[in-house]
Amino acid sequence: MSKQDHNRADARFNKPGQAKAGKSEQDVAAKAVLDNMARLKALRLAREAAEPQPAPAAKKARAKSPKKSGEKAPALSDWLAGQQSGGRRT
C-alpha cells in the first residue's frame, strides 16, 4: 500500500469534523444528566432536612404460636386426610 493510499484511508476513517462534534455533543449530554442528578439530590436532601424525623416505630412482639415445643406435629397421613376431608385436594 502506498503512502498516498494510507493517507486517504486515514482521512476517510478519521473524519475530523464529525468525530469531535459527536464527542462534544455526547459530553454535553452527559454533563446535563449529571447536573440534573446533582440538582435533584440537593432538592431531596433539603426536603428531607425540612421534614421532622418520624419517631422510630416500636417493634411489636410476635405472638407465639399456641403450639408448645414439646408437642409433636400430627403425622403427615393424618394431616393429608384432614386436608382432603376439608375440601382441599393436593
Identify the sign of the CA torsion 12, 13, 15, 18: positive
Residue entry with cell 405472638? 63
CB 90 within 8 A of CB 80: yes
In angstroms, rounded to a whole number, what is the distance separating the alpha carbons of residues 54 and 11?
Answer: 65
87's grid cell:
375440601
Query: pLDDT tens, 9-50?
Result: 887 777 666 555 567 889 999 999 999 999 999 999 999 999
Residue 65 has pLDDT above 70, yes or no: no
Position with higher pLDDT, 50 vs 84: 50
Q: For cell 410476635, what's the residue?
A: 62
| Across 3-7, 15-19, 56-60, 69-73, least confident range | 15-19
pLDDT score recorded for residue 28: 92
